[in-house]
């Protein structure tokens, strides 16, 4: 706990007291040259931001973005306690009647602790985009090579500095490199995604690595199981990671069948304490959806292996009145050098879970450029100092100049994300969110709606997708910064889950995602402030109740 003799403000999440303009002494960073008024706002002030509160000039907005990572390190609480009633309880409770260890699980959930999101503070520094260093299949490019690639990318963009700003901003987020030479294909909904994934599996010659939250034993799950078994029988090594909570409803015999055929199967953070290979971390779930074939092709996004995407029924985890609706989701197929970064994340997860040694295969083949997309692979986990996905998204929103377009299934924002969205709208950025009109998670649905009033009053445009269960997780900012992945805009994704996203820079892919956003927008209903303020009392009570559980959802 930081010690300050004359506290001026207290962090509402960590309880740490700080003097204005001072970073807690136990971080080892000391004083930081930051705007204390803005720092107090981003630290959780509840007042609706005014125009003068937000970064206004392009340079200030870019500076606000590039300074977030160092500030995150400064404010990340030391010795985070764990959640007392985690969101995993919702899933575990749904399986209570089917699993003998439910009493033990329930007790463990109540004993789990509370984590906190880091406080991001703009440091008003700005990195020049000309200094950005890119990576290729052979490693980091020289400064001259990087400059040549950037010049070529700029020549295809509109005459504006927006691309340079987002490029410099993205470079500041430490971790995996920005990799050139990739081809990115946007996949819409389950059938198209499954066809592409199964075709890639059928063409595999060396290995198939698969990581998923849900793997149901239904028609879709059996198709994938048989495809994996067929490749294993041909000598192609298949390695599978499945989350224990996500697959609680899948019979053990389903995975035993795969193992019996030679597939290496790893259960992530087993719910059953008798099957533990490491510490019991039941609140930490693997929410990633990743398929890698021969180290050269990767699929990722929001789509699980489940019949909900073809039959329209809801998942076993979250049954509701939505059982008859189709599911709307988004995935990516990525080919090129950046696949090696996704492969590293898969192997890191396998090692961290203490899985059996993997069969020797060519997991990192030489990859030649196959396109001109600049891509970053971003994985986050509760073990990281902070969520890189959270940091890069906030950074991009803070530096937005023209538009922020987000489609997300589970929207339970923390105060900083709310601040970023409202501040962007108040400075004139077109901020549009497409959210569900019907859902498979009652609490999440109403917890998100509890924030509608503040967003609408700030000028954020809200739309609810009709006729489907919305499960997509995408964002497009200024038409040049795009992300697709598994991350929801809620506390669970940013604090408790292992998540995976791809960030794609440039107008080419941005145009594809814009077209998809426009298609969803045409099938959505606008939510106006006047309409929202007339909603029924029972709706307000549901929001009040659900909002109290927001942290654990």
Using CA atoms, how far apart are residues 462 and 411, in angstroms rounded to an integer?
12
Task: State in Å, rounded, how far the first CA of the chain is from the last one.
Answer: 27
Task: Using CB atoms within 10 Å of the CB of residue 361, give its burial: 0 to 12 exposed, 13 to 18 middle, 19+ buried.
Answer: middle
Give the helix/strand (H/E) hosting 286. strand 285-286
Q: Which of 242, 289, 461, 496 is catalytic?
A: 289
Using the 8-state DSSP alphabet, how is residue 536 labeled?
A: -
Using CA atoms, how far apart are residues 170 and 179, in angstroms rounded to an integer?
12
Pairing between strand 489-490 and 411-412? parallel
- CA-based torsion, 194, 520, 483, 42: positive or negative: negative
Using CA atoms, how far apart are residues 468 and 523, in angstroms rounded to an integer?
10
Instruction: Give the length of the chain.
Output: 553
Q: Which of 126, 231, 451, 473 is catalytic?
A: 473
Active site residue 37: no
Using CA atoms, how far apart are residues 429 and 401, in angstroms rounded to an integer?
6
Q: Which of 53, 123, 216, 294 is catalytic?
A: 294
Please give the structure tokens belonging to residue 402: 């023209």
Using CA atoms, how far apart are residues 522 and 247, in angstroms rounded to an integer?
35
Using CA atoms, how far apart are residues 464 and 407, in angstroms rounded to an integer?
10
Q: How far is CA 479 from CA 174, 483, 505, 514, 527, in A?
A: 23, 11, 9, 7, 23
Q: Which of 216, 286, 329, 478 is catalytic?
A: 478
Give the helix/strand (H/E) hosting 513. helix 507-522
Cβ atoms of 238 and 206 within 8 Å: the answer is: no
Cβ atoms of 420 and 392 within 8 Å: the answer is: no
Cβ atoms of 488 and 482 within 8 Å: the answer is: no
Cβ atoms of 550 and 491 within 8 Å: the answer is: yes
Active site residue 478: yes
Q: Which of 207, 231, 287, 542 is catalytic?
A: 287
Active site residue 289: yes
Cβ atoms of 241 and 266 within 8 Å: the answer is: yes
Q: Which of 446, 461, 471, 496 is catalytic?
A: 471
**Active centre residues (catalytic):** 287, 289, 294, 471, 473, 478
């Amino acid at each position: 706990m930081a010690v300050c003799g004359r506290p001026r403000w207290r962090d509402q999440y960590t309880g740490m007291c700080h003097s204005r303009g001072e970073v807690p002494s136990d971080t080892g960073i000391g004083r930081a040259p930051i705007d204390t008024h803005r720092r107090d706002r981003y630290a959780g002030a509840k007042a609706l931001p005014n125009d003068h509160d937000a970064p206004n000039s392009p340079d200030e907005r870019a500076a606000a973005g590039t300074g977030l990572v160092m500030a995150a390190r400064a404010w990340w609480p030391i010795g985070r306690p764990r959640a007392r009633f985690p969101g995993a309880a919702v899933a575990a409770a749904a399986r209570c009647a089917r699993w003998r260890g439910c009493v033990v699980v329930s007790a463990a959930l109540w004993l789990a602790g509370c984590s906190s999101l880091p406080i991001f503070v703009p440091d008003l520094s700005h990195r020049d985009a000309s200094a950005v260093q890119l990576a290729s299949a052979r490693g980091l490019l020289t400064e001259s090579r990087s400059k040549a690639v950037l010049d070529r990318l700029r020549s295809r963009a509109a005459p504006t500095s927006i691309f340079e700003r987002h490029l410099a901003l993205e470079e500041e987020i430490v971790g995996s490199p920005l990799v050139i030479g990739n081809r990115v294909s946007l996949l819409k909904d389950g059938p198209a995604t499954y066809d592409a994934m199964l075709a890639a599996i059928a063409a595999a010659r060396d290995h198939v690595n698969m990581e998923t939250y849900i793997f149901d034993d239904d028609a879709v799950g059996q198709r994938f199981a048989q495809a994996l078994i067929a490749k294993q029988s041909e000598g192609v090594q298949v390695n599978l990671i499945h989350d224990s909570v996500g697959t609680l409803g899948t019979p053990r015999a389903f995975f035993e069948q795969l193992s019996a055929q030679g597939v290496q199967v790893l259960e992530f953070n087993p719910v059953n304490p008798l099957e533990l290979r490491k510490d019991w971390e039941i609140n930490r779930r693997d929410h990633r959806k990743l398929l890698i074939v021969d180290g050269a092709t990767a699929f990722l996004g929001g789509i699980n292996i489940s019949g909900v995407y073809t039959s329209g029924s809801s998942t076993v985890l979250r049954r509701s009145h939505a059982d008859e609706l189709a599911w709307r989701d988004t995935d990516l197929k990525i080919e090129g050098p950046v696949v090696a970064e996704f492969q590293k994340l898969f192997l890191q997860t396998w090692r961290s879970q203490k899985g059996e040694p993997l069969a020797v295969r060519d997991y990192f083949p030489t990859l030649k450029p196959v396109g001109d997309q600049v891509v970053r692979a971003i994985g986050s986990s509760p073990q990281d100092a902070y969520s890189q996905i959270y940091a890069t998204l906030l950074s991009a929103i803070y530096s937005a100049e023209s538009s922020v377009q987000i489609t997300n299934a589970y929207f339970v924002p923390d105060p900083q994300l709310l601040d970023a969205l409202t501040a962007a709208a108040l400075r004139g950025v077109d901020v549009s969110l497409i959210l569900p009109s019907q859902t498979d998670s009652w609490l999440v649905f109403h917890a998100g709606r509890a924030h509608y009033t503040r967003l609408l009053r700030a000028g954020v445009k809200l739309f609810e997708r009709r006729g489907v269960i919305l499960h997509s997780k995408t964002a497009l900012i200024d038409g040049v910064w795009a992300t697709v992945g598994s991350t929801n805009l809620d506390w669970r994704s940013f604090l408790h889950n292992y998540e995976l996203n791809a960030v794609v820079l440039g107008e080419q892919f941005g145009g594809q995602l814009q077209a998809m956003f426009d298609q969803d927008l045409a099938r959505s209903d606008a939510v106006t402030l006047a309409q929202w303020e007339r909603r029924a009392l029972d709706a307000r009570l549901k929001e009040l109740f659900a909002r109290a559980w927001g942290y654990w959802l």
